[in-house]
Structure 1
Amino acid sequence: MTRTAPAPVPAAAAAAAPAAQGTAPVPAVHPLWVVVPAHQEAARLPGTLDALAAQTDRDFTLVVVDNASTDGTARLARRFAKRAPFPVHVVTEPEKGVGSAVDTGFRYALAYGAAALARTDADCLPHPGWAAAARAALGSGAGLVCGRVVARADEHGPLGRAAFRLLVSLAALFGRIRPAHRRRHGYLAPYRMHAGNNMAITAHLYQQVGGMPRRPSPTDRLFLNRVRRHTSAVTRERRMVVGNSTRRLRAYGLLGTARWYLDKGPGRHREDPR
């Protein structure tokens, strides 16, 4: 099933379900909804969609958020919907920025009654047990689940993947030792490595914290800290694995990518590495 709709107005999205191009809203079938923001991802989106179709747990609804794309991203998502093993909704968010796209997708799902929300990105490859691990972690009492990211095997060789592992480890260490992240600043949970392209959260908690910051990347650390101020139920689930694109490493180089992951911005590079 595919439903194409403009993005709901963020402030009102959770209050009333948006209609899909003149059709009446239908109730959500599955309590878990997966959101995939996508900007100019015609080349990589099919791989992400196929990885979602190959999940061991496919009892979810997918929302693809076309974020101001001009390359046929939305068309590919609609084509996939015709063969998908789960319901697929395609919505649009004209305001470019991953934060806006994610928030629009999550609030769209909330408007249809989603109880649990998961996210990956349109250049990522969730491993087959990803959705099952997210559902199990949320079902065990987690409010926010942070998954594990590894480098995609099809974009870099062994050295590139090793460099990516090093960068992720450095970013995690930096987050833990950063003075601003210490619990004396009002945080209820210790800092955990949080990749926005591999996360799950309960609908209730997402609304409690005010949603994803509607801004361009990076948004992950800001969102995590919003959650840490509200609950201690932040967990890391190692079985929730996503293959992460390494194209930023190719575009920025090792030092430039390290700067990005350490929250120092893109430097002389553009925020979008394509």
Structure 2
Amino acid sequence: MDTSGKLTVVVPVFNEAAGIRPTLEALARQRDSDFDVVFVDNNSTDDSATVITDFAAEHGLPWRVVLEPQKGTGAAADTGMRAAIAFGATILARTDADCIPREDWTAAIRRSLTTGGLRLVGGELVPRRDEGLPWTTRALLRGAVHLAEAFGRVRKGNRDPAYRGPYMMAAGCNVGITAELYEAAGGFPRTAIEDLHEDRALVNAVRRITSRYARRSDVVVYGSSRRVNAWGLRNTLLWYKDHAYKPEHVDIR
């Protein structure tokens, strides 16, 4: 099986100038450095694009920034994925601009989608430790993620005879997919996050095509807890449960 596919990481960005550097540094530290990055500026009003291009120039990295004016992580992620495919990518990975991929993240994505025989991989999402969240809350958050995946497997909306495998949670900030499957599944829906969880929609589209998808504990991203800090744990979990909690401002910065 081919292990040399062209890997591109896609990162949606909205007003992250003040906090994106840890993400940039984490991507620059990847052990498997044979990958490109497409950052999608989702119509930021700050200097996000400049921070990214300056960092890339400083480190001699051929990273790209593309613009997507339509608001929403779905639209931004889809623009980035399709731009990556146009640039020749055969393996796609996505993380977010407030997340820190572990140093072996790109290697684990590549391994899962080549020698691992998968076409879609969802990774492990671990709360960041540098945002002031107590370890007890971080542990509860991790447990809630696994509980939500278990609930998703029995949820009526995720059950259909047309699905070729069980429901799987694949957080948009830690997912890998082959380019051919991304296109076959229709990609991330180009919606605002207030309207639809685009990662769940993509997983369910994939489930109608193939059973070659899985969660992998070795594909690790440290995710931001700023929503928990802003909304509290209960409201954050309700937000992810079909937007049962609707905050006035979704884009927490």
Same fold (TM over 0.5): yes
Amino acid at match of 2:151: F
Which residue matches 2:141?
A: 164
Which residue matches 2:230?
A: 251
1:123 aligns with 2:102: no
Q: Within 5 A, what are the aligned runs for 1:104-253?
A: 104-139=79-114, 140-155=116-131, 156-184=133-161, 186-217=162-193, 218-253=197-232
The CA distance in 2 between the partners of 1:107 and 1:129, in whole Å, is: 25
Query: How many residues are aligned here?
Result: 245
> Per the alignment, do residues 202 and 30 of structure 1 end up closer, same or farther by CA in structure 2, a change over 3 Å counting?
closer
Amino acid at match of 2:243: K
Q: Specify the SS of the correspondent of 2:189.
A: coil
With normalisation by structure 1, the TM-score equals 0.85
Does structure 2 conserve the Cα–Cα contact (< 8 Å) formed by 1:40 and 1:73? yes
Which residue matches 2:35?
A: 60
1:260 aligns with 2:235: no
Deviates more, 1:262-271 or 1:197-206: 262-271
Runs of 4+ in 1 over 6 A off after TM superposition: none
The CA distance in 1 between the partners of 2:153 and 2:60, in whole Å, is: 40
Q: Specify the SS of the correspondent of 1:263.
A: coil
Amino acid at match of 1:210: G
Does structure 1 conserve the Cα–Cα contact (< 8 Å) formed by 2:238 and 2:245? yes
Percentage of matched positions with identical amino acids: 47
Deviates more, 1:156-165 or 1:34-43: 156-165
Q: Specify the SS of the correspondent of 1:195.
A: coil
The CA distance in 2 between the partners of 1:61 and 1:30, in whole Å, is: 12
RMSD (Å), alpha carbons: 1.6
Q: Which sections of structure 2, spanning at least 5 residues, go unmatched? A: none
1:80 to 45, 51, 55: 55
Q: Specify the SS of the correspondent of 1:187.
A: coil
> Per the alignment, do residues 85 and 117 of structure 1 end up closer, same or farther by CA in structure 2, a change over 3 Å counting?
farther
Which residue matches 1:17?
A: none
Aligned-residue offset at 1:209: 0.9
The CA distance in 2 between the partners of 1:214 and 1:108, in whole Å, is: 14
Does structure 1 conserve the Cα–Cα contact (< 8 Å) formed by 2:169 and 2:203? no
Does structure 2 conserve the Cα–Cα contact (< 8 Å) formed by 1:60 and 1:87? no
> Per the alignment, do residues 162 and 85 of structure 1 end up closer, same or farther by CA in structure 2, a change over 3 Å counting?
farther
